[in-house]
Structure 1
Amino acid sequence: MMSNGWIPTTERLPDQREFIESYVRSAYAAEFLVTIEGADKATTLYYSQTGIWFDEQGEPYKVVAWMPFPERYKG
């Protein structure tokens, strides 16, 4: 099945390298593109190494799939 780069959370969560690369890019927390359970659109959330997905206010979410951010567009 085509996943288009999405990684189901049932398959795996971000590994140490992905966490660090994402953290360095964001400078606040490890940020990823995610699909929240029951949501129609992708959004961005932060991920903690304790396995919690959360927003800027620290509210936790149930994430069903995630992917690292692509490189930014450079034109």
Structure 2
Amino acid sequence: MSNGWIPTTERLPDQREFIEAYVRHAYAAEFLVTIEGADKATTLYYSQTGVWFNEQGEPYKVVAWMPLPEVFRG
């Protein structure tokens, strides 16, 4: 791991990570990701079939991912 990033070539979210992300976001399992060729991180959803997708259902090639951090509460 590098700065918390997990390369997709090493592994994808496991069952526990998927369920925690799904329960936390209530719509789908959402993660912070780096998309192939992108300069900035973004959030995408992950399906248990191994597909990363946006809110419109469009698939993306993700090169690294990490769980979303907790929301800041000041």
TM norm. shorter chain > 0.5: yes
Q: Deviations over 1:21-43 (max 9, x none)?
A: 00011100000000000000000
Alignment coverage as a number of residue pairs: 74
- Structure 1 residue runs of 4 or more that deviate by more than 4 Å after TM superposition: none
RMSD: 0.9
- 1:13-67 CA distances to partner (integer Å, 9 max, x unpaired)? 0000000000011100000000000000000000000000000000000000000
Unaligned runs of 5+ in 2: none
> What is the TM-score with the length of structure 2 in the denominator?
0.96
**1:61 aligns to what?**
60
Q: Among all aligned residue pairs of Structure 1 and Structure 2, give the percentage whose two residues are the same amino acid.
A: 89
TM-score (norm 1): 0.95
Equivalent-residue separation in structure 1 for 2:51 and 2:7 (angstroms): 15
